[in-house]
Structure 1
Amino acid sequence: MNQACKTILLFFSLIITIQSCIEPQETFSKIPSGSWRGVLYLQDNPVVVDDKDEITYGQDVTGQLPFNFEVIYDNDTTFHIEIKNDTETIRIDDVTFGRTKSLAKDTVGIHFKVYDTYISAFYEDDLLEGYWHVNYRENYKIKFRAKHGDNRRFILPANDALAADFGGRWSLIFDQGTEDAFDGVGVFRQDGNHIAGTIETETGDYRFMEGSVSGNKAYLSCFDGAHAFLVESKLLEDGTYSGLFYSGNAYVAPISGKKNPDAKLKDSYSMSKPSSDKAAKFESFDSNRAPFSLDREDLRDKVKIMMLMGTWCPNCKDATEFLRELSKKDEMKDVAITSVAFERYRDTSRVFEQISTYKSKGNIGWPVVLGGYYNKMEASKSFGLIDTIKAYPTLLLLDKSNVVRHVYTGFYGPATDQYEGFKSDFYSKIESLKNE
């Protein structure tokens, strides 16, 4: 063999060796497993506010809601997704993968069936690109992108300044100076540049939020399939908290406040009252379209919990988990639970379909019955057992004679520091009614 042939053979041998070295160790017929960084683009043209009392951020950050998720293969062909928000992990099993014939592109669907929303995206080269859709809102969708192999949350500009201290409790006001203004309490934990916590309002909490601190600016986000929350904030020189709160792409509100270790909101038991001191009357239909009444035989002489809720509401899901935990206690055998669903559809058939899915997917062991349309003013009139419905969820405690004795508005769930105290107090009220 002449020298030229030897050189050619050596060249091709070297190419084959290099290719074998850079081949991925794992191949996937679908999307790759591991860490992904998702982003929801809440504003197509983010607004940068220049007023010194507000926030000025770069276009690469404002209005972008990041969240982290893992793709985990259960076997060679099926996989599920786990979304991470602070200490919470949300498992999503309803994931589809396919290929469009018309566009010859791989497609991924992530279905949040209990909330009636979904993500549809094209997949190519470690990237997902598509939209998050909310079925119960007409033409509502938010642009979505995700990249494989990135476990960061917020990607912030380099900042050598010492991270400001956002930890602790904060008295907050949303939309200050307008007729829509409302109070909140920020409860944050900070470790260096990492921040997590939640914001409590009189209608409930904003669940598990997580993010980063860069200099005097802090960013927090939460995506759970139902809500897309983003907070962009900064500390001013006088210690004032100033920021913007986004809920999806339809609501943005300014936030301002001060650190206050004693910050608190109204008593949740004082915000709504029973409509009568007489036995309550309530009739409806359950998720199987069977008649339901508080007077039915299996509920007689029992203390009752009624939860006014919506299948679209993550705080209601937190409250459902609390009631599930409560129902497992031996001493709760003579306590009856009923969820009353107020939905975002007026089509009764669609509502029954949704509450049936919610009950089965959530493995709920008590009746979920039709309440009506979710509009609070309309729901207050149609329900009638309390003077006003101010939040979902709202928990009612009825005595053995069906008299409404306690009304708890909103829900401070496991993301808050009030959760354990609430559980203990609620349990005590049940025991008191049982012993009457």
Structure 2
Amino acid sequence: MNFLKTTLFFFLLFIIGCSSQNNKKENISKTKWRAAITNDHQKDIPFYLQVEGEGESQVWTVINGEERMQLNDVYYEGDSLHVPLLIYEAEIIVKETDEHLSGRFLRKEAYSLAFNAEKGKAKRFTSTKAPEVDFTGKYAVKLGETEAIGLFAQNSEYVTGTFMTATGDYRFLEGIVEGNKMKLSSFDGVHILLFEVELNGNQLENGKMWSGKSAYKTFQGIKDDRAKMPDPTKLTYLKEEYSHISFAFENAEGKVVSLGDERYDDKVVILQIMGSWCPNCLDESKFFAPLYDTYNKDGLEIIGLSFERSEEAEKAFKRITRMKNKLNLNYEILYAGTPQQTAEALPMLNKVMSFPTSIVIDKNREVRQIHTGFTGPSTGEYYEKYVAEFTQLIQLLLAEKKS
């Protein structure tokens, strides 16, 4: 009997010990960090970071407002941890301690900036003053020389928002309100953004924007519920001497693809002018991927014309293939040249003023819409309206008979 009691005692100790170890593992497996990239102006651009797991099994999640950007391709070189940033030609390289990550944010063939993160630092921005104003609403903004719309939502001191322009949006921004000043920041793998602005009455004043390595702009604005951007379907169009779109570019297998191919007969085709380096293109591709998978059986085709930052096709296709795999893009994507070669690649267009730009072609190979830019998920109702209207357009064109 004593033997049984002793055995049971040690068995319970073992179970409790395992349970404690598992709880400990669970507690340390997911940690929150306050990260920052320091630009040439010695401004820290902060963002939240969540790290799960250890070693090369780590998964990093970059957090900006509602956005969660998961990074799971980490690897070591020597004593440095490398964290590739999605499909972009960029990575974070750090040395780790239990409480700190320190190193560099590297945009390959472009620049390198200091990166640091502290474990458990929950505040993106520190605040010493309670908010005295509410930034919630829509604003007509002059961002440098660019017309924009500011969209902000404030809850106590916490605020999120974005800026929309004719060529796209600034994606998910997050920050605080201190007194009458708002601070917003974001890091999406490529863009490094910091905004500071004051609200006096209904006026945005003393606005400052830092982006990337060293870019700086001032801005101002006024609250205006009727503010609107130019119609994105009127900015890019066919020149008068052209009636159709035509091109011939290679895919990753070396096959030349054009709209004249039999595969596209009697089909509705979306041409997506894009690049693997472009966050707004990533947002559009995330919308196009399920759209294609849903309607391909009904006659929808999508062709990506990717303008890559490399004149070498082999390098360009490595980036394109990585993008296709990461985003589960099942449609054709061709290498069309560099971003500076859009006029040469598509001479029938007046201009390509934005990546992305989408061209919708009906079953008769007539251009039915050219949409400049993309209003992504950070724009809320604008994004939802675009998705609904664009999907309806595709459904209508698929239902039409070829004349």
For the superposition of Structure 1 and Structure 2, which TM-score range results when normalised by the shorter chain?
0.7 to 0.9
Deviations 1:339-372 (A, max 9, x none): 1111122223211221122112222100110121
Partner of 2:117: 146
1:423 aligned partner: 387
Q: In structure 2, do the counterparts of structure 1 residues 321 and 77 end up closer, same or farther at CA, with 3 Å as the change threshold?
A: closer
Contact 2:292–2:331 at 8 Å: present in 1 too? no
- Evaluate the alpha carbon distance shift between residue 33 and residue 197 of structure 1 in structure 2; reply closer, same or farther with a 3 A threshold: same
SS in 2 for 1:415: helix
The amino acid across from 1:147 in the alignment is: E
Q: Is the 8 A contact 1:380 1:386 kept in 2?
A: yes
User: Which deviates further from its counterpart, 182-191 or 269-278?
Assistant: 269-278
Alpha-carbon shift at residue 251 of structure 1 (Å): 1.2
Displacement of 1:236 in angstroms is 3.7
Cα distance in 2 for partners of 1:332, 1:410 equals 27
> In the alignment, what sits opposite 1:314?
279
* Aligned-partner SS, 1:280: coil
Query: 2-side partners of 1:433 and 1:136: how far apart?
Result: 43
2:119 partner letter: H
1:118 corresponds to 2:91: yes
CA distance in 2, matches of 1:216, 1:288: 57
Q: Find the counterpart in structure 2 of residue 64 from structure 1.
A: 44
Q: 1:205 aligns with which of 161, 166, 169?
A: 169
In the alignment, the residues of structure 1 paired with residue 307 and residue 124 of structure 2 have an alpha-carbon distance, to the nearest angstrom, of: 34
What secondary structure sits across from 2:175 in the alignment?
Answer: strand
**Contact 1:163/1:192 (8 A) holds in 2:** no
**Does the CA contact (< 8 Å) of 1:84 and 1:90 recur in 2?**
yes
CA distance in 2, matches of 1:235, 1:26: 46
- Asked if structure 1 preserves the Cα contact closer than 8 Å seen for 2:56 and 2:76, the reply is no
* Equivalent residues of 2:75, 2:82 under 8 A apart: yes
* Counterpart amino acid of residue 412 in structure 1: T
Using the alignment, how far apart are the partners of 1:77 and 1:313 within structure 2? 27
Return the offset for 1:148: 1.1
2:320 to 352, 355, 362: 355
Once residues 125 and 38 of structure 2 are traced to their aligned partners in structure 1, the CA distance between those partners, rounded to angstroms, is 13
Report how far residue 242 of structure 1 moved: 2.9
What is the distance in 2 between the residues matched to 1:133 and 1:258? 37
Letter in 1 for 2:115: F
Distance in 1 of aligned mates of 2:224 and 2:297: 38
Corresponding letter in the other structure for 2:38: Y
Paired residues in the alignment total 376
Task: Return the offset for 1:27.
Answer: 7.4
Residues 250 and 290 of structure 1: CA distance in aligned 2, closer, same or farther (over 3 Å): farther
1:244 and 2:208 correspond: yes
Q: Distance in 2 between matches of 1:373 and 1:334?
A: 30
SS in 2 for 1:429: helix
Q: Report whether the alignment pairs 1:214 with 2:194.
A: no
AA paired with 1:132?
F
> Within 2, Cα distance between the matches of 1:351 and 1:364?
16
Aligned pair 1:254/2:251, yes or no?
no
Q: Does 1:414 align with 2:377?
A: yes
Amino acid in the other structure paired with 1:168: G
Deviation at 1:26, TM superposition (A): 4.5
- Could you report, residue by residue, the CA deviation over 1:140-177 in whole angstroms, capped at 9, with x for unpaired residues? 01111001112221123x114x43211100110022xx
Output one character per residue of 1:238-276: Cα deviation in whole Å (capped at 9) or x when no partner: 733331112212311101111111111100001111235
Corresponding residue of 2:9: none
Q: CA–CA distance in 2 between the matches of 1:296 and 1:125?
A: 57
Partner of 2:259: 294
Equivalent residue of 1:433, what SS?
helix
The one-letter code sitting in structure 1 at the alignment partner of 2:362 is: D
**Residue number in structure 2 paired with 1:223:** 187
- Looking at structure 2, the residues matched to 188 and 247 of structure 1 have their Cα atoms a distance apart, in angstroms, of 19
What is the CA deviation profile of residues 76-96 of structure 1, one whole-angstrom value per residue up to 9, with x for unaligned ones?
A: 861211111111111111112
Tell me the TM-score normalised to structure 1 length: 0.81
Give the Cα separation in 2 of the matches to 1:79 and 1:134: 21
Distance 2:263 2:121 in 1: 53
Q: CA deviation at 1:332?
A: 6.0
Provide the rounded CA distance (Å) in 1 between the counterparts of 2:226 and 2:297. 34
Partner residue of 2:233 out of 261, 269, 275: 269
C-alpha contact (below 8 Å) 2:183/2:195 kept by paired residues: yes
Compute the displacement of 1:189 (Å): 0.5
Alignment of 1:321-336 (within 5 A): 321-330=286-295, 333-336=298-301
Cα pair distance change 1:216/1:332, threshold 3 Å: farther
CA contact (8 A) 1:204 1:412 kept: yes
Percent identity of equivalent pairs: 28
**What are the equivalent positions in structure 2 for 1:98-113 lying under 5 Å apart?**
100=78, 106-113=79-86
**TM superposition shift of 1:39:** 0.2
Q: Which residue of 1 aligns with 2:304?
A: 339
Please say if residues 203 and 220 of structure 2, whose CA atoms lie closer than 8 Å, have aligned partners that are also in contact.
no
Q: What corresponds to 2:8 in structure 1?
A: none
Aligned mates of 1:255, 1:243 — CA distance in 2: 5
Gaps of 5+ in 1: 1-24, 46-62, 101-105, 176-180
Q: Provide the residue aligned with 2:72 in structure 1.
A: 93
Task: Note the C-alpha offset of 1:319.
Answer: 0.4
Contact 1:327/1:333 (8 A) holds in 2: no
Aligned equivalents of 1:314, 1:415: Cα separation in 2: 12
Secondary structure, counterpart of 1:240 in structure 2: strand
Residue ranges of structure 2 left out of the alignment (5+ in a row): 1-22
Answer whether contact 1:43 1:64 (CA < 8 A) is retained: no
- The Cα shift of 1:403 comes to 2.4
